[in-house]
Amino acid sequence: MQTRSPRRLPLQRYVAGVLGGDRMVLARAITVVESTLPSDGELAARLLDALLPHTGHALRVGITGVPGVGKSTFIDALGMHLIRDRGENLAVLSVDPSSAISGGSILGDKTRMERLAVEERAFIRPSPAQGHLGGVARRTRETMLLCEAAGYCNILVETVGVGQSETAVRSMTDFFLLLMLSGAGDELQGMKRGIIEMLDGMAINKADGDNQPKAERARAEYAGALHLFPASADGWTPRVLTCSSTGGTGIAEIWRMVLAHRELLEGNGFLARLRNLQALQWMNELTALGLEELFRRNRAVGERLPLLRDQVHRGRVTPFAASRELLALFQRQPAIEESPTDDESPASDESPANDESPASEKSRKETL
C-alpha cells in the first residue's frame, strides 16, 4: 500500500521548539512519536534520544476510576489548583485503548476539561486514537517525555477504570490515584485486589451535599481495608481522602498527599529506583512491540496466516501447531512488507498542530 508522506520538520526544529516550550511544535512532535508510519520511526527515536536528557523532573501522577466517577471534573479542578494556587503548569494525557475495540473511546472525544482547555499553562492531549494497549501506552509514555522536555512540571495521566490500562499507567507514573464513589453498595468487595496493590492514594469523589456523610464513612472503611495489605517496600502507606471536584474541596489536600509521597520517595532513594525499573520496563515494552511489528509485517507470515487462521478456526489445526509454524516461518525468512499494519492506520498524521486534536507489570509494590 502506498502511503502519503506527511510534512515533517528537520530534527533540530523539533528539538529546539520542544525545549523552548513551543506548543505548536510540541503537538507536531507528538504527532511524530504517535505515528505508525515506518518512515517516522527513525525521526521519533532520534527526537526522543535528543530530548531524554531534559526529562525526569516532572511529577507524574496516574489517575483512574470507573466512567462517571468524575475523573475529568477532578482533573479540571486539580489543574486549576496547580495553575492558580501554585503557579505551576501541567500536561494531561490519557491511555484509553477502548477505541481500538469499540470504535469509540470511553474517555470520549469531547472537551472534557472545560476550564483547563482554555488555560495557557495546561496542555491536554487525548489518547492516541489507534492501536492496541501496548501501542497506546508506548505513545503516551513518549508523549509524557516530550511534555517534560517542553517544561511541564506536572503530568497527569488519566485512564479508564477497566482492564490492563491501569498497569500500563502505573508503569509510567510515580503516584497512582484511584477515584471512588461512596454509597454504591459493595464497594469493598468489588475492588479488584490488583488495583489496590498498585495505588498510592484513593479519593472518594462527590463528597458534597447529602453525600458528604456517606463519603466520610466510605473513607474510613477504605482506609481500614487498605491497612490489611502488607506495607509497601518504599515506606509509603496509601492514604484515603475525600473531595468534591465540582465544589473544589479536598483538592489541595490530595495534592499535598502527592507531594508528601514525592518527598518521601526522593529522600529514601525509592523514586530513583522506581524510575530505573520503569526504564527497564520501557525497554522491554519497546522490544516486544518491535518484534510484534516485524512479525506482522513479515511476508512469509502474511502469506500463510489467512489459511492457518481458517484452519485453526475450523479446528483442523491446533493453535499450538499453527503458532509454531508461523514462528518458524518468521525465523527462516525475515523479509518485510513495507505496508502499515492493519489495526494501525497512518491516517491521523500531520493533523493540525492543536493540543486537542483527536489525531491522534507489574505493581510497584511487588517489584521494588
Task: Kindly calculate the radius of gyration of the chain based on its CA atoms and give it in whole angstroms.
Answer: 22
The whole-angstrom separation of Cα 151 and Cα 25 is 13
Least CB distance to ligand GDP at residue 65 (A): 6
Residues 63-102 that bind ligand GDP (CB under 6 A): 65, 67-73
Least CB distance to ligand GDP at residue 307 (A): 44
Please give the sequence-ordered ranges of beta strands (E in DSSP) within 134-233, or none if there are none. 154-160, 175-180, 201-204
Q: Is beta strand 59-65 parallel, antiparallel or unpaired with respect to 175-180?
A: parallel
Least CB distance to ligand GDP at residue 246 (A): 4
Query: Which residue is at the shortest CB distance from ligand GDP?
Result: 70
Least CB distance to ligand GDP at residue 187 (A): 16
Burial of 344 (0-12, 13-18, 19+ CB in 10 A): buried
Task: Decide whether 116 or 274 has the Cβ nearer to ligand GDP.
Answer: 116
Task: Decide whether 68 or 185 has the Cβ nearer to ligand GDP.
Answer: 68
Chain position carrying cell 491497612 = 227
Task: Decide whether 72 or 130 has the Cβ nearer to ligand GDP.
Answer: 72
Q: Is beta strand 90-95 parallel, antiparallel or unpaired with respect to 154-160?
A: parallel
The 228-247 contact track toward ligand GDP, x by CB under 6 A, reads ----------------xxx-
Least CB distance to ligand GDP at residue 168 (A): 18
As a residue count, the chain comes to: 368
Please state, as a whole number, how many other Cβ atoms lie within 10 Å of the Cβ of residue 169.
Answer: 27
Task: Decide whether 51 or 160 has the Cβ nearer to ligand GDP.
Answer: 160
Distance of CA 258 to the CA centre of its chain: 18
Residues 245-264 that bind ligand GDP (CB under 6 A): 245-246
Task: Decide whether 65 or 346 has the Cβ nearer to ligand GDP.
Answer: 65
Least CB distance to ligand GDP at residue 80 (A): 14
Q: What order do you get walking across the sheet with 154-160 strand by strand?
A: 122-125, 90-95, 154-160, 59-65, 175-180, 201-204, 239-242
Report residue 93 as a C-alpha cell.
494525557
- CA-based nearest residue to 175, from 244, 69, 263, 72: 263
Task: Decide whether 206 or 365 has the Cβ nearer to ligand GDP.
Answer: 206
Residues 7-66 that bind ligand GDP (CB under 6 A): 65
Least CB distance to ligand GDP at residue 259 (A): 22
Least CB distance to ligand GDP at residue 185 (A): 18
* Binding footprint of ligand GDP, residue count (CB under 6 A): 14
Report residue 247 as a C-alpha cell.
465544589
The whole-angstrom separation of Cα 248 and Cα 70 is 12
Task: Decide whether 17 or 161 has the Cβ nearer to ligand GDP.
Answer: 161
Please state, as a whole number, how many other Cβ atoms lie within 10 Å of the Cβ of residue 317.
Answer: 17
Residue type, 60: R
Least CB distance to ligand GDP at residue 82 (A): 17
Task: Decide whether 208 or 337 has the Cβ nearer to ligand GDP.
Answer: 208
The whole-angstrom separation of Cα 179 and Cα 203 is 5
- CA-based nearest residue to 252, from 224, 244, 216: 244
Least CB distance to ligand GDP at residue 209 (A): 6
Residues 194-223 that bind ligand GDP (CB under 6 A): 205-206, 208
Residue 68 CB contacts under 8 Å (≥ 6 apart), including other chains: none
Task: Decide whether 56 or 183 has the Cβ nearer to ligand GDP.
Answer: 183
Do 159 and 62 meet the contact criterion of CB atoms below 8 Å apart?
Answer: yes
The residues binding ligand GDP (CB under 6 A) are 65, 67-73, 205-206, 208, 244-246
